[in-house]
Amino acid sequence: MTNTETLGAPSRASDVKRHYRLPAMRHDGDAGTVREILSALPGVRHAATDASRHSLALIYDATQMDDERVRNALAQAGFPTGAGAWERLKAVWFRYLDETVRPFERTQGRPRAPAAATRGGFCVNRDDTA
């Protein structure tokens, strides 16, 4: 049975939703294997696959998991993501987004501010090195 359910919106501030193309995922057995692999990773909240479209939709906590580790786990299991220019661009963009989420992970119900923000905020005209 193909898992073609749609994913809802991420429920936590650090949860992110990502879509991947997996050309090697050809049938429902492969789709089940992909879901098993991903469910074993820390921070993965939900994975939905569609073997007929070779697609994976994934929600994970960006403070515990990142796009690169997802891609590596899939590649090691024999399901590498697409190799085109669009997939490479998405990988770079997802890496940037994951790195941006981490400093704002929730601590005791409030987002943690970056160090520069606690010194009075960011300003391009002010020298913060003094």
- pLDDT tens readout for residues 22-51: 999 999 999 999 999 999 999 999 999 999
Which segment, 52-56, 61-65, 95-99, is predicted with the most confidence on average?
A: 52-56
In a domain, 95, yes or no: yes
Mean pLDDT of 52-76: 92
Please tell me whether residue 19 adopts helix, strand or coil conformation. Answer: strand
Rounded to whole angstroms, how far apart are CA atoms 104 and 97?
12
Q: Using pLDDT thresholds of 50, 70 and 90, give the confidence band for residue 16.
A: confident
Rounded to whole angstroms, how far apart are CA atoms 88 and 62?
19
The count of structural domains within the chain is 1
In a domain, 70, yes or no: yes
In a domain, 105, yes or no: yes
In a domain, 85, yes or no: yes
In a domain, 108, yes or no: yes
In a domain, 10, yes or no: no
- CATH number of the domain where residue 52 is located: 3.30.70.100
In a domain, 69, yes or no: yes
In a domain, 81, yes or no: yes
- The boundaries of the domain holding residue 58 are 15-118
**Helical pair 85-101 and 67-76, crossing angle rounded to 10 deg:** 130
Please tell me whether residue 120 adopts helix, strand or coil conformation. Answer: coil
